[in-house]
Structure 1
């Protein structure tokens, strides 16, 4: 890659919309969307991180934003091989970037792989560290094989078992949705000990209220997703904390002979109890 990637929402929409539709979409509407996703700031960020890749790219993004990440519990990982890191997902972007920066520095970029929504494969500087997962449909044969090979490898695996960003709960707290049971089954099948991870941080209340009203109105389109790039930009200068718990052996999980959904809920609770 001889130049930094650049987000061009205007070009993307004009190229993907049918020609007759593209002509009638007003320019001010596209400009408004560009401001909403903070396109200018995102492109400045991408230029500042260029030409770094992988965890070096992640660290450059944190540096550009002036974000401080405090890490606790790394000593719990000593002497453990082939770990499955299961983290809550409070931010929707910066949490993943910070985890890649921390774990990439510890294990090297060839030592970790991140199971992610396939849309994130568009983030080219991080692509080599990602294993794409299709959230909304069946996995293609190549992707199924890639996931299987990663799980069978010596690399550590990182994922957000909730799949979606944390939401405002009825009791007023902000936390993940239910953790998907598949990560427990994958951990046991691949004989990987599970490390519960707690990432302390939150988005703005605008994000949570938008998600809440979208759900109340019965809208299926995840409109709050468009706010996440802006939330990344708003994180500038903030401090976050990552806490790594003690690995839970796959043998112990298997011996409990519980429904994977119950085990996933127990691990979620364990992550949130970390101090």
Structure 2
């Protein structure tokens, strides 16, 4: 099993938009799925990073990656929710008539964010 975070980054506060955003998901992940014929299991993580992480990420965006281990350690012993979708087989994924890697990754992103609203 291989776990991949398709944005290759973490959510961050975008000052210009006044909200927390998820960086774009990388279409190359869809290419990897296509080449390996992998089954995909969308997982939605509920939770927040510390205020310090958010503020320093606004002031110095490159600091965000250096602070990530600290954030993980800060979560030790805490409980957070994971929402897990049913596995999507390679065959099922391509039955959706998705033509490009961009369409595939957008479909998977939509399926993952749909989990946020599931109880």
Normalised by the shorter chain, which TM-score bucket?
0.7 to 0.9
Q: How many residues align?
A: 113
C-alpha distance in 1 between matches for 2:68 and 2:28: 26
1:184 aligns with one of 30, 33, 43: 30
**Greater length-normalized contact order (CA 8 Å, ≥ 6 residues apart):** 2
SS of 1:193's equivalent? coil
Unaligned runs of 5+ in 1: 1-155, 216-221
| TM-score normalised by L of structure 1 | 0.37
* CA pair 238-177 structure 1, distance change in 2 beyond 3 A: same
Q: Deviations over 1:41-78 (max 9, x none)?
A: xxxxxxxxxxxxxxxxxxxxxxxxxxxxxxxxxxxxxx
1:268 aligns with one of 85, 90, 109: 109
Unaligned runs of 5+ in 2: none
Q: What corresponds to 1:172 in structure 2? A: 19
2:100 aligns with one of 252, 255, 259: 259
Q: Deviations over 1:68-121 (max 9, x none)?
A: xxxxxxxxxxxxxxxxxxxxxxxxxxxxxxxxxxxxxxxxxxxxxxxxxxxxxx
For the 8 Å contact 2:43–2:84, the answer to whether it is kept is: yes
C-alpha distance in 2 between matches for 1:231 and 1:194: 26
Q: What corresponds to 2:4 in structure 1? A: 159
For the 8 Å contact 1:204–1:231, the answer to whether it is kept is: yes
1:229 equivalent in alignment to 2:39:
no
SS of 1:185's equivalent? helix
1:207 equivalent in alignment to 2:53:
yes
Question: Shift in Å at residue 236 of structure 1?
Answer: 4.0
Question: Shift in Å at residue 205 of structure 1?
Answer: 2.3
For the 8 Å contact 1:188–1:251, the answer to whether it is kept is: no
Question: Shift in Å at residue 235 of structure 1?
Answer: 2.0
| TM-score normalised by L of structure 2 | 0.78
* Largest Rg, 1 or 2: 1
For the 8 Å contact 2:98–2:104, the answer to whether it is kept is: no
**Cα RMSD between the aligned structures?**
2.1
SS of 1:198's equivalent? strand
C-alpha distance in 1 between matches for 2:40 and 2:31: 11
